[in-house]
């Protein structure tokens, strides 16, 4: 069964930075981590592709990387105006405002308490550990704080102690933390799995779809709205849309196969007087995709609309679709 390597669509930034030499004992892990991160557009190099692994990165660049780990970049940029508004710091450059704003709204990053974020300041090991532990959220099974972030990152397994010894963390050592964090977040490392005839993945996908529906109705209940009925024909259609995006390597509401979501619904004999679609790509868990949708105003509006009465959810190898209708 084909498995998609989880990707986050991203704006690639060329980093120009400076700092300490790589610890020899970490070189092999740094090499593997950096190759994976560069391949998946999580960590970018300069105009020649050099990742400059012996140099530090800035706090603004860390916000870019945190957003790549936790939110679909197409969704993020579609809501750029909203997240720009969430960036209340006075010193963040225009290019970084959407990323810092997103990370601030998710409480991944904070400022210095005087209205400044310090976008050009180099990242300390404690700051890097804090941001990545926050990205992991409830997956971290114990309490921690900024003061204990270094020990917590080591205990949780996203950082070797040797990578945290310098005053400012190098891009090479950060690569290890990022690589290990992607594993905690459920990123797939395999492009292809042999087809054994085992249907466990299909069962898991069905369970994930049900879990999304359950979380949708939890959000609706919290906002005083009636639950949506999970409908078989809508799930079938949503699953076909996810499969189509997967098979044809695109990410859009408009399908090269079926046209618009509304054209696709009509072609399947689904009548409606109100309808909507949410899509997502690359989120590794039910909780992550729901958090992404709920933090996007347009997608949140569909989930919490009182115009809809039924829901369909489709998940195929990293592609997610929600269909909403009222018939």
Mind listing the pLDDT tens digit for each residue in 116-141? 999 999 999 999 999 999 988 888 99
Residue 4, pLDDT score: 31
Q: How far apart are CA 325 and CA 308, in angstroms?
A: 5
Q: How far apart are CA 92 and CA 285, in angstroms?
A: 31
Residue 25, pLDDT score: 54
Residue 145, pLDDT score: 94
For the chain, the three-class secondary structure string (H helix, E strand, C coil) is CECCCCCCCCCCCCCCCCCCCCCHHHHHHHHHHHHHHHHCCCCCCCCCCCCCCCCECEHHHHHHHHHHHHCCHHHHHHCHHHHHHHCCCCCCCHHHHHHHHHHHHCCCCCCCCCCCCCCCCECCHHHHHHHHHHHHHHHCCCCCCHHHHHHHHHHHCCCCHHHHCCCCCEHHHHHHHHHHHHHHCCCCCCCECCCCCCCHHHHHHHHHHHHHHHHHHHHHHHCCCCCCEECHHHHHHHHHHHHHHHHHCCCCCCECCCECHHHHHHHCCCCCCEEEEEEEECCCCHHHHHHHHHCCHHHHHHHCCCCCCEEEEEEECCEEEEEEEEC
> Is the confidence at residue 39, as pLDDT, over 50?
yes
Share of the chain above pLDDT 90, in %: 52
Per residue in 142-199, pLDDT tens?
Answer: 999 999 999 999 999 999 999 999 999 999 999 999 999 988 887 754 433 333 344 3
Per residue in 68-83, pLDDT tens?
Answer: 888 877 778 878 888 8
* Mean pLDDT of the chain, nearest integer: 83
> Is the confidence at residue 9, as pLDDT, over 60?
no
């Amino acid at each position: 069964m084909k498995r998609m390597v989880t990707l986050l669509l991203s704006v690639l930034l060329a980093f120009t930075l400076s700092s300490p030499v790589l610890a020899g004992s970490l070189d092999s892990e740094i090499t593997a981590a950096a190759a994976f991160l560069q391949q998946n557009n999580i960590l970018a190099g300069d105009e020649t592709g050099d990742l400059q692994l012996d140099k530090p990165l800035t706090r603004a660049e860390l916000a870019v990387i945190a957003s790549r780990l936790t939110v679909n970049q197409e969704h993020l940029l579609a809501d750029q105006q909203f997240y720009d508004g969430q960036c209340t710091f006075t010193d963040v450059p225009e290019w970084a405002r959407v990323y810092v704003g997103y990370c601030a709204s998710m409480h991944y990053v904070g400022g210095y308490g005087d209205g400044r974020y310090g976008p050009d300041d180099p990242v300390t090991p404690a700051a890097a550990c804090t941001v990545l532990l926050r990205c992991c959220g409830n997956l971290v099974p114990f309490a921690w704080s900024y003061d204990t972030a270094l020990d917590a990152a080591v205990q949780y397994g996203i950082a070797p102690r040797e990578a945290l010894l310098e005053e400012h963390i190098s891009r090479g050592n950060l690569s290890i933390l990022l690589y290990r964090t992607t594993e905690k977040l459920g990123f797939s490392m395999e492009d292809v799995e042999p087809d054994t005839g085992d249907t466990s993945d299909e069962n898991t996908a069905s369970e994930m779809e049900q879990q999304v529906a359950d979380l949708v109705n939890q959000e609706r209940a919290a906002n005083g709205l009636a639950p949506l009925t999970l409908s078989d024909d809508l799930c079938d259609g949503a699953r076909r849309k996810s499969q189509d995006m997967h098979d044809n390597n695109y990410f859009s509401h408009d399908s090269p196969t079926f046209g618009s979501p509304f054209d696709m619904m009509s072609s399947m004999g689904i009548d409606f007087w109100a309808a909507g679609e949410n899509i997502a790509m690359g989120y590794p868990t039910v909780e992550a995709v729901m958090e992404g949708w709920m933090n996007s105003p347009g997608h949140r509006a569909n989930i919490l609309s009182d115009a809809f009465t039924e829901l369909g959810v489709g998940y195929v190898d990293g592609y997610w679709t929600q269909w909403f209708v009222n018939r």
